[in-house]
Chains A and B, each alone.
Chain A
Amino acid sequence: MASAFRAKKLDLGGFVNIKVIRDHTKRKAYEQFEPQRQALRYIIRNTSLPQRMRTQAQLQLAQTSCYTRPTQIKNRCTMGGVGRSVLRAFRMGRFQFRLNALEGNIPGVKKASW
């Protein structure tokens, strides 16, 4: 079921890992179904619409695949696929960030010393 969202050919360029592929697939599925989800959410939140319609929208939203939910998306390290302590601004885990910063790959980042 969930593999239906996965691209037939790998479309990632950097570090690849099954967890990274999964997360990427979820991101793309969310992008695809976002307008539909927002429309259903609008129907649910609009109190001027008939109650029956709103309940139906609730059911429909609950029945969509979990891959289309934004809460399923997790920021992972783009260099190593690590899911913990990922620096959002650099899209890197703490250790990859340290390695790349010491190597001088990240512009503007310098080891502090005083």
Chain B
Amino acid sequence: MASASRGRLLELAKLQCSIFSTTFNPNRQRLGNKILRQRLRGPTLAAYYPRRSTTVEDVIQEFKKFDLAGFNEDEETRLESIQIAKLRGKGAPKKKRTPSDTKKKGKR
């Protein structure tokens, strides 16, 4: 059996590539096609944390159109406990107003 010439083999490879829609690259150059083949991972990565959906506050706000009043029980208990803590003197500290205030305190 006579072996085919190099030119014929190259032609065959070129035809194969055109049929199976692959890139013809006989010199095995690095053309970076593997990056074009990669899928975009962004959408799956960005969907990791649960997104904000309708909250109790939104529902109350919507019902205000129809003159219906509701109350957010969790929020009210939270505010109540904050009030209790403040009465006991265990509330959050007061916010500093200007940066110079804290500097003076630091020097003393």
Contact = CB atoms under 8 A, between A and B. Distances in A.
Interface in B1-46: 29-32, 34-36, 38, 40-43, 45-46
A32 B42 CA distance: 8
B51 interface: yes
Given A34-B42, A45-B35, A75 B29 contact: no
B105 to A, nearest CB: 26
Interface residues of A, number: 30
Contacts of A27: 42, 45-46, 48-49
Nearest to A79: B50
A97 interface: no
A14 B49 contact: yes
Contact of A78 (B31, B45, B50): B50
B32 A42 contact: yes
Interface in A1-38: 10-14, 20, 23-24, 27-28, 30-32, 34-35, 38
B42 A45 contact: no
Given A14-B50, A45-B30, A46-B30, A34 B41 contact: yes
A73 B45 contact: yes
Contacts of A38: 35-36, 38, 40
Contacts of B52: 10-13
A42 B35 CA distance: 6
A20 B48 CA distance: 11
B87 to A, nearest CB: 28
Contact of B49 (A32, A42, A47, A78): A78
Contacts of B41: 34, 70
A91 interface: yes
Interface of A: 10-14, 20, 23-24, 27-28, 30-32, 34-35, 38, 41-48, 70, 73, 75-76, 78, 91
8 contacts: A14-B49, A14-B50, A27-B48, A30-B46, A35-B40, A38-B38, A42-B35, A46-B30
